[in-house]
Structure 1
C-alpha cells in the first residue's frame, strides 16, 4: 500500500494551490459590469477599476462613492471514464515478467463516474471612491479581485480514485504471488473509496491612484494596488475493504493547509475624448506574488518525506497575478443611446504558477466585450452586453483540481436614477462554457488510458448603489 500512498499524495500537493482559482481575474466588481460588461470607457464611479483615467471627466467636483454586493454560483463537473487493473498476464501458468515485475492486465470495460463540484460566493462586496477637484482626481477601490468563494467536490476527484485503484491492485500483487500465501488480487469491486476535496481562495485588493486632466480631451492615471492572498485547502482519501473481504484499511491520506501572501500591482491608464467617441485604456503590471504555507495537518508515508517539502509549514509557492491590458471604445449614437466595445489581454504565460504550470499554456487569455445602454426615461436605463473568453489551454495544463473552459457570457440589467445624487444598478450575468475533453494514455500516472470531460457553469447577480456627496 506504500506505493499508492506516495503517488496519491504527491498528486494532491502539486494540484491543490490553484483549486479555487482558475485563470479568470474578477473583473465583475460592480453591478454596472454585470448589466453591460464593457465598462472600460466609462466616466462613472465604477471606472475606479475599469477606467480610472476616465474619472477626470466626472461631471461634478466633490466626493463620489459606490457600494456593490454580488452573489456568484458555479459548478465544476468532471465526467470521468478510465480503465483499471483486474489481473496478471499469464504464460503457461506463470506470470509474465518485465524488468522483474509481473505485468498487470486492464479491465474489459472502463470505470465511469460523474464528479460534481460546487463553488459558491454568496457575498462579494466592493467599495469605490473618488474625490475630484478641478483637473485632479484621487480614486480607489476595495474588492476581492481573485477567487472569492469555496469550491467543494464531496465525492473526491477522479485523479485520486484512479491512482488509488491502480496502486491498491499493484500493492496486492506480491502477496498474491508469494508461495504458500496466495492472497487474492484486490480489485475495485472488493473495497470502497471515500474522498473529498475543499478549497477556498481570496485575493483582497486595495487600490489608490491619481488622475490628471491634461486638457479638455486627454487624461492620465497612475496608481498602485495592494493584494493580499488567503486560502485554505482540505482533502482526504481513504480506502477500506468491504466486510465480505475481511474489512480493514488499505490507504489513508490527509491534508489541511492554509496559505497567505501579498503583492503590489502598478497600474497606468489614459483616456481620450474625440467628439462622440471616448477611448479608455489601462495596463496592470504583473504582480509577483508568493504564498506561504501554514500546514495544520499532513499525513503521508515515511517514504514520501523527500517529496513533500514544498508543502510543509513555512514554504513559499509562486502564485503571480498576470499583467493585463484593457482597451475600450465607446460611442454615443444619441444622447440616450450609447455602446462600447472592449478588449482584454492577460499575459498568463509570464505569470509564475506552482510547478511552472504556465509553460503548458499555448498563449495568454483574450477577452472580447461589447455592451449597449439605452435611457428609456430620465430615471431608467436598460442595458445588455456580451463577452467571449479565449484561453490558450492544453491537455498538460488542465487538471482535475484546476481546469478552465473557453466561454461566452451574457449580461442584462438596469440603472435607476433615484435622485440627482444617487443611482441604483442591478445586473445579472451568466456564462456558457465549452466542454473540454482530455484523453490520456497514462491516466493519472496509472499507465492505463482514460478520458475526462470538463464542464462548468457560472451565474452572478449584483446590486450597486452610487452616491455623489
Structure 2
C-alpha cells in the first residue's frame, strides 16, 4: 500500500483564504464586510486598505476593534468507483476573527499599527477524510480478489475505516508604518508587516476493517490460511516427485515405452501399485482414457510436471502469505500531531492622490513574503513530520488600486481592484497525482484578481447603510486542483450599516455571502480509468466593531 502523504494533505487544507487570493485574507474590517470595496478608504481601516490615505484623518489618536464570525463549508463529490461514498464535507468555523488598528495623526504625518490574521485564522475539519486518502483502502478488495480463487471464504467484499483530519492555522499580520503628506493632494506610505505564523496538524486513521473485521487481524488470519495452503502444495509436490522417482527403476530396466497395463501383465508392478499411480494421475486431472495409453516415460513426466507446478504454487502462496502479513503491519492505527512555526516579513508601500474633497485615487503594493516554517512534532506514526525540518510557505505579492467618490452628501462610492501575483510563487506538485507516482506541477495560468464596487448611502447625519458586490477570478489550471487544495472563482454580495453614535464613536456591522462556482476536474487512475471530481464551497462572514477617536 502506498505511503499516505498526510503532511501535504494538512498543509494544503490550511489554505483558508476567505476574501482574498489563494493564500491571503483581505477581509480585515467591518467596513469591508459591509462594502467589499475599501481600497480608497480614508477612515481608520485605511491602515490596511489605503495606508497612504491616513493623512486625511483629523489630528489626534484613532483606535478601532473589529471581529468577524466566519462559516465555510467545502464539499467534494467524486465518481471514483470503489469508494464507499463519493461525498466528503469539510467545515471551518471561526467565532472570533479580530482586527485591531491604531493611528496617531499630526500635521503631515500619520503613524499606524494594524494587527489581524493575514492568512488562515481558523480550523479546517474533514470528519470523514478526503478521497485521496481513502482511495488506497478502497482498492484493497480488488487487489485481494485473487484470494477468492484460493478459497471462496477468503474473498474480500468490503472495507471500512474511520478517518479524521483537522488543521488549524493563524498567520498573524503586525503592520507598522508611517504616512506623509507632501501637500494637500499627494501622500505616501512605507511600512513593514511582521508575520508570526503557526500551523497545527492533528489527524488519525483508525479502525480499518476488511469484511467487517479489523484489517490487521483479518490479513494475519488470511496469511495463516494461505501459508497452510502453501504447505499443502509443497507436500503435494513432494508426493508428485516421489511417485515420479518410483518410475525410474522401471525405465532403467528398459520398460520406458510400456503402458501401466503392460507393466502389470508383465509382473513389473502389481495391481495395487498400478491403482495408486492411476489414482494420482486422476487427481491431477488426467482422464482415464489418456492414462490407459500413457507409457512409463509419459507417466513420470506428468508427475514431474505436476510436482513443478505445485512447487510454483507453493512458492506463490508463500509469497502471498508474506505480503498479507506485511500489509497487516501497515493498516494499524496511525496518528499525526505536530505544529509548525515561522516568521515572515512583508514590505509595503502606498500612494494616495486626492485632487479635491470629492475624489480619491489610491495604490498599494505588498511585496512577496518569504516564509519558512519549522516542525515541532509530538506524534508522527508515519514519519512525515521530522522534528526540526523546515518547509517553505511563501505568500504572493499583491497590487491594489482604488477609486473613491464622495461628491454627494448622501452617497459614497468606491471601486477596488486587487491582483495577487500567484504566478510568482511555486505551489509545488499536485498531491493527487503524486500518490500515483506521477509528477504534475500545480500550474498557475494567470494571477488571481478581484474587482469590487461598494456604495454607502448616508440616510441621516449619523447613520448610513451600504451594499457591495465583488467578482473574484482565479487563474489556476486543472492541474492545480485536487481535494487537498482547490480554488473556485466566486461572486460576493454584502450589506451593512454605519452608526456614528457620537462624533468620536462609530459602530460598523455587516454580512457578506460568497457564492463560489463549482469546478469539475477529470483524473485518470491506472486500472480504473478516467473519473470526475467536483469541488464546491460556501462562505458566510459576519462582522461588527467600533472605532474611537481622541481629538
Q: Does TM-score exceed 0.5, indicating one fold? A: yes
Q: Name the counterpart of 2:116.
A: 143
Aligned-residue offset at 1:340: 1.0
* Separation (CA, whole Å) in 2 of partners of 1:450 and 1:314: 39
Aligned-residue offset at 1:450: 2.5
Aligned-residue offset at 1:360: 1.3
1:292 to 1:168, Cα distance in 2 relative to 1, 3 A: farther
Matched, 1:373 2:470: no
Query: Given the alignment, which residue of 67, 71, 80 partners 2:69?
Result: 71
1:54 to 1:240, Cα distance in 2 relative to 1, 3 A: same
TM-score of the two chains, using structure 1 as the length reference: 0.85
Q: Name the counterpart of 1:349.
A: 423
Q: Secondary structure at the match of 1:360?
A: coil
Matched, 1:293 2:375: yes
Structure possessing the higher radius of gyration over alpha carbons: 2
* Separation (CA, whole Å) in 2 of partners of 1:27 and 1:245: 47
Matches within 5 A, 1:116-155: 116-155=89-128
Q: Name the counterpart of 1:364.
A: 447
Q: Name the counterpart of 2:12.
A: 18
Q: Name the counterpart of 1:41.
A: 40
The answer on whether the counterparts of 1:65 and 1:129 sit within 8 Å (CA) in structure 2 is: yes
Tell me the alpha carbon deviations over residues 294-319 of structure 1, each in whole angstroms, 9 at most, x when there is no partner: 2222223xxxx7xx4xx311111111
Matches within 5 A, 1:94-133: 112-133=85-106
The answer on whether the counterparts of 1:371 and 1:385 sit within 8 Å (CA) in structure 2 is: yes
Larger strand share, 1 or 2 = 1
Query: Given the alignment, which residue of 254, 262, 270 partners 2:343?
Result: 262
Q: Name the counterpart of 2:521.
A: 438
Aligned-residue offset at 1:214: 0.4
1:209 to 1:243, Cα distance in 2 relative to 1, 3 A: closer
- Segments of 5+ residues of structure 1 without an aligned counterpart are 85-109
Instruction: Provide the aligned C-alpha RMSD in A.
Output: 2.2
Q: Name the counterpart of 1:99.
A: none
Aligned-residue offset at 1:361: 1.6
Matched, 1:401 2:473: no
* Separation (CA, whole Å) in 2 of partners of 1:225 and 1:356: 30
Query: Given the alignment, which residue of 158, 182, 191 partners 1:214?
Result: 182
Q: Name the counterpart of 1:186.
A: 156
* Separation (CA, whole Å) in 1 of partners of 2:176 and 2:211: 60
Q: Secondary structure at the match of 2:374?
A: strand
Matched, 1:241 2:210: yes
Matched, 1:411 2:485: no
Q: Secondary structure at the match of 1:159?
A: helix
1:158 to 1:378, Cα distance in 2 relative to 1, 3 A: same
Aligned-residue offset at 1:78: 0.7
Tell me the alpha carbon deviations over residues 137-188 of structure 1, each in whole angstroms, 9 at most, x when there is no partner: 1011010111111111111111111122224642x367567xx76773434x
* Separation (CA, whole Å) in 2 of partners of 1:314 and 1:452: 36
Tell me the alpha carbon deviations over residues 185-205 of structure 1, each in whole angstroms, 9 at most, x when there is no partner: 434x2x312111111111011
* Separation (CA, whole Å) in 2 of partners of 1:368 and 1:206: 26
* Separation (CA, whole Å) in 1 of partners of 2:62 and 2:343: 28
Aligned-residue offset at 1:377: 0.5
* Separation (CA, whole Å) in 2 of partners of 1:150 and 1:72: 11
* Separation (CA, whole Å) in 1 of partners of 2:391 and 2:528: 29
1:167 to 1:296, Cα distance in 2 relative to 1, 3 A: farther
Tell me the alpha carbon deviations over residues 106-134 of structure 1, each in whole angstroms, 9 at most, x when there is no partner: xxxx8642111100110011100110110
1:401 to 1:342, Cα distance in 2 relative to 1, 3 A: same
Q: Secondary structure at the match of 2:476?
A: coil
* Separation (CA, whole Å) in 2 of partners of 1:359 and 1:439: 15
* Separation (CA, whole Å) in 1 of partners of 2:527 and 2:177: 52
* Separation (CA, whole Å) in 1 of partners of 2:99 and 2:359: 29
* Separation (CA, whole Å) in 2 of partners of 1:114 and 1:265: 39
Aligned-residue offset at 1:356: 8.7
Q: Name the counterpart of 2:275.
A: none
Larger helix share, 1 or 2 = 2
The answer on whether the counterparts of 1:318 and 1:354 sit within 8 Å (CA) in structure 2 is: no
The answer on whether the counterparts of 2:430 and 2:479 sit within 8 Å (CA) in structure 1 is: no
Matched, 1:331 2:412: no
1:318 to 1:419, Cα distance in 2 relative to 1, 3 A: same
